[in-house]
Structure 1
Amino acid sequence: MVKATEKRIYFTRHAQAEHNVASDYSIPDAPLTQLGRQQSEELYKATKDNIQQSAELLVSSALKRPLSTMIIGYRDLRKRLEAEGKKVIVLPQLQECNDLPCDTGSPREVLEADPEFAGLDFSELTPDWTSKQGFYASTVPALQARARWIRRWLRARPEREIVVVAHGDCLRYVTDGFNSAAPWANAEVREYTFEKDEGDDERGEAWLKPVKEVAKEGAEEPTSSEAKHN
């Protein structure tokens, strides 16, 4: 079993999506723009000869914009892992924080019917994943609990190197523990590791610490939380 302090987690914010550019947070499950697809292609070029060669697991939020970013940007990694029998893990816990339409995912049957997402395993999507209630609520305590769940889940995985594609606010909660407003650019990749091994982590928070920036292909487009406070 690899030690948590030896793990490398490559957190990636999705590329530019329609709500980023239009500041229209009523767009349901906002998809990538054409520029976002180009940014995802640049993400591919920036990572194909390094982390896509070595990562052992690929994980994505189940919203359309991270899924598309992952499909375009990490296509070599996906192809290699699927050839090894390791499917992409589509994780509903990585969904964006707010309860706005742009941050609310689509039902499983809608995603399964989309040709772009053909071959992905949506079995983790339970009927309540779009509810924005309970575990998925947009309250600070619920978001902090969900971020802790994600950190613990990543720490418990047996893989040493894991690529995660998610959202700006979600990544702030996961890496900082709260909505820090720390800038995350579209199609930005940052490498993290864990501060402590599980046996040394008395509070079970599974805190992370940054290692380095890996790629940054887009601008620091605001998240829906930032828009709400402007």
Structure 2
Amino acid sequence: MPPTLILVRHAEALHNATKDYSLHDPELSELGRSQCRELKKNLMGKIPEELDVGLIVVSPMVRTIETALLAFGGLVDKGIPIHAHAGWQENSAKPCDTGSSVEKVAALFPQVDFSHIDPVFPDKRSPVGAKYAYNTQAIVRRAQDSLRELYNRPEKVIIVVSHSGFLRQGVTGHYFFNADYRIFDFEEPKDGNYTLKQWGSTSKGGLGWSWEKTVPIGEGLPEE
């Protein structure tokens, strides 16, 4: 049976607070750190009683890793592995959505396993980094590849900490506000296409902070 996915958007980062998208790979704001405490209080109460988490997957960017460690560090301390995965990074190639070198983030966050990361990261602009380009085809394909990997994992429940644009436009069609989460089960793949069915209890986000409305996958993304 494929795992249940808890998809989480990072908490508020400095570029969210300031609207300064020229900030490179920004860290969380003070409000963001407070939101992580709310996320931890809400979701950790369901773990492990209701949700048997076996893995945490995180976009290899500062704000997502900070969110994961602040909210779920207790799981990491108990031995739950946390893997950085380039497939779950944000869509655009703006400075705020472009990661730092693996050497830098690995030094900042030794708790995180970076051994599985695509060596192309954080390149999104060159031909070598084309799979991470900011266009519909690349983002939808990346989302499908990332879901396929998780579908075949042995864990019962996997937490993924990612970004609003990628989660909405590439993966689910749902809105995610800062630090909010939604829980999904995999539907049966059709023609190699992986789709998710949300738990009704998170229709407004697990914290109740997100919109219920949905959009088609790929909406708002530029063509190649």
TM bin, normalised by shorter chain, reads: 0.7 to 0.9
State whether residues 181 and 207 of structure 2, in contact with CA within 8 Å, keep that contact through their aligned partners in structure 1.
yes
Structure 2 equivalent of residue 101 of structure 1? 95
Q: Measure how far apart 1:24 and its partner are.
A: 0.9
Tell me, yes or no, if structure 1 residue 184 matches structure 2 residue 176: yes
* Match among 61, 64, 80 for residue 63 of structure 1: 61
Specify the SS of the correspondent of 2:149: helix
Shift of 1:98: 0.3
Q: Judge conservation of contact 2:90–2:162 (CA < 8 Å) in 1.
A: yes
Match of 2:214 in 1: none
Cα distance in 2 for residues equivalent to 1:71 and 1:161:
17
In 2, Cα distance between the equivalents of 1:37 and 1:126?
28
Q: Conserved in 1, the CA contact under 8 Å of 2:85 and 2:118?
A: no
Q: Which structure has more helix as a fraction of its residues?
A: 1
Rounded Cα–Cα distance in structure 2 between residues aligned with 1:70 and 1:76 = 10
Tell me the secondary structure at the aligned position of residue 171 of structure 1: helix
Q: Contact 2:13–2:26 at 8 Å: present in 1 too?
A: yes
CA contact (8 A) 2:11 2:28 kept: yes
Q: TM-score, normalising length from structure 2? A: 0.84
| CA RMSD, 1 decimal | 2.2
Please state if 1:172 is matched with 2:187.
no
Q: Structure 1 residues 113, 157: CA separation in 2 closer, same or farther (over 3 Å shift)?
A: same
Paired position in structure 2 for 1:12:
8
Residue 193 (structure 1) aligned to one of 162, 185, 188: 185
- Shift of residue 39, structure 1, vs aligned partner: 0.6
Aligned pair count reads 205
Conservation of the 8 A alpha-carbon contact between 1:18 and 1:31: yes
> Structure 1 residues 126, 207: CA separation in 2 closer, same or farther (over 3 Å shift)?
closer
Q: TM-score, normalised by structure 1?
A: 0.82
Identity across the alignment (%): 32
1:107 and 1:38 map into 2 onto residues whose CA distance is 27
Secondary structure at the aligned position of 1:38 is classed as helix
Distance 1:40 1:218, change over 3 A: farther
After superposition, give the CA deviation of every residue in 1:86-113 in whole Å (9 maximum; x if it has no partner): 5211111100000100000000111122
What residue in structure 1 maps to residue 144 of structure 2?
Answer: 148
- Cα deviation digits, residues 117-173 of structure 1 (max 9, x gap): 123221233442111131111111000100000111110101111111000011113
Q: Does 1:216 align with 2:214?
A: no
C-alpha distance 52-33 of structure 1, shift in aligned 2 (>3 A): farther
Measured in 1, the distance between the counterparts of 2:21 and 2:12 equals 13
Unaligned 5+ residue runs, structure 1?
Answer: none
Verify the 8 A CA contact 2:182 2:198 in the aligned structure 1. Answer: yes
SS at match of 2:181: strand
2:133 maps to 137
